[in-house]
Amino acid sequence: MLKHPHSQGFQAAAEKEFRSLIGRNTFKPVEYPSGKQILPLMWVFTYKFDKDGYLSKYKARLCIRGDLQKVTA
């Protein structure tokens, strides 16, 4: 993302998303639990266009990789 031509727009969108998550108390830092599975996070960046097809907004979402979760019985 840092080498993308629109990296500044995406960085601003990522900062806005992160501040929003913190403001809503979505998560809290914890110590790494030994012997437990930690799911990785992934940033997803997208563009939004207006009705005329012009770039109107950069969007960033922080997603957890739930597809990697091991199911325990």
Contact 64, 44 (CB under 8 A): no
Per residue in 18-59, pLDDT tens? 999 999 998 888 888 888 888 899 999 999 999 999 999 999
Contact 49, 55 (CB under 8 A): yes
Q: Which helix (H) or strand (E) holds 61?
A: strand 55-64
pTM over 0.85: no
Triad 20, 24, 25: Cα angle to 5°: 115
Q: Is the pLDDT of residue 73 over 70?
A: no
